[in-house]
Chains A and B, each alone.
Chain A
Amino acid sequence: MNRAILRKRLMMLTSVLLVYGALYLVDSTKTAGALGYALGIMWDILPILGIIYVFMVAFNFIPEKRLKASIQKTQGLTQYLILSLLGMISHGPIYAWYPLLSDLRKRGLTQGSVATYLFSKGIKLTMIPITAYYFGLPFTLVFSLTLFILSFVQGILVDLLMRDKTERI
């Protein structure tokens, strides 16, 4: 990544911190609460980033050609299915997984599969008991199954609409 992009990102971060500073003068309680909430999320993300790092290193040890070949061998619905299942069992916020996904994207994963993964992250297998507690088991199952099916629709649509539009990633 070049310095200009890094500078732009750091400027965005600084801008938000300045907004925090300004809001603190207006409402210190709410701003402190917002900062505490953000720090809590950051703390929760750290172990997830650790897991993602391990995955990325592991993928680096698989020969590039072999990894590309296995990704390209599982195209279409099979790739959507694998990514959808992985999305369902993955933990942590969606954005923590972007580095790993963009890494795999460079090695042949289709954009539709990335979209399938990101959509199916909405299905929280581990949260099913909690969802059922709030909305009942039938609703939870119908809701999860609908999201699972639509994750494929999402993948197909993204691949169709992004076709022939090679984009620098």
Chain B
Amino acid sequence: MTPATRKKFKGPVFNILSTLPIMLTVILILGLVKYFISFEALSTLFTGQPGLDTFFGSIVGSVMAGNSINSYIIGTEMLSGGLTAYAVTAFLASWVTVGFIQMPVESSHFGIRFTLLRNVLSFGLSMVTAVVVVMVMGVIS
């Protein structure tokens, strides 16, 4: 194997390994968020007002990250707990599009300006998603 070919195999290993410490940090923080921040405490933020509920739905979804199935289970609980469809949809959208906890890893790859801009835009678009989806669902049903 020539040195150039060896470099083609070694380069990605170094790239991935250099990301690992910060990736592990984020994963460990995710564990803490899941076990130490209770959804019940966060649910006190919701007032039933669509505008504010959409905003707080996006906030909660942005803070709580992890497997999407968890967001479905929590989302169903939110609905059965009487929260508005705006809050639940914003929560589901921001769960998968905003990554406040992952920001250190993201900025180490793409720069802080891109990371901040992308997450702020995603946060805004998660609220847009909630409004559009609830409106379309209202028309459909």
- Whether A134 contacts B35 in the complex (CB less than 8 A), given A127-B68, A147-B129, comes out as no
For window 114-145 of A, CB contacts with B under 8 Å fall at 114-115, 118-119, 121-124, 127, 130-131, 134-135, 138-139, 142-143
Cα A33 to Cα B75 in complex, Å, equals 22
| Interface residue? A153 (CB, 8 A) | yes
In contact, A56 and B30 (Cβ under 8 angstroms): no
Cα A53 to Cα B92 in complex, Å, equals 30
Number of interface residues of B (CB under 8 A): 60
In contact, A130 and B109 (Cβ under 8 angstroms): no
Residues of A at the B interface (CB closer than 8 Å) are 1, 5-6, 9-10, 12-13, 16-17, 19-20, 23, 30-31, 33-38, 41-42, 45, 49, 52-53, 56-57, 60-61, 94-96, 98-99, 101-103, 105, 111, 114-115, 118-119, 121-124, 127, 130-131, 134-135, 138-139, 142-143, 146-147, 150, 153-154, 157-158, 161-162, 165, 167-169
Residues of B at the A interface (CB closer than 8 Å) are 8-9, 11-13, 15-16, 18-19, 21-32, 34-36, 66, 68-69, 72-73, 75-76, 89, 92-93, 96-97, 99, 102, 104-106, 108-111, 113-114, 117-118, 121-122, 125, 128-129, 132-133, 136-137, 140-141
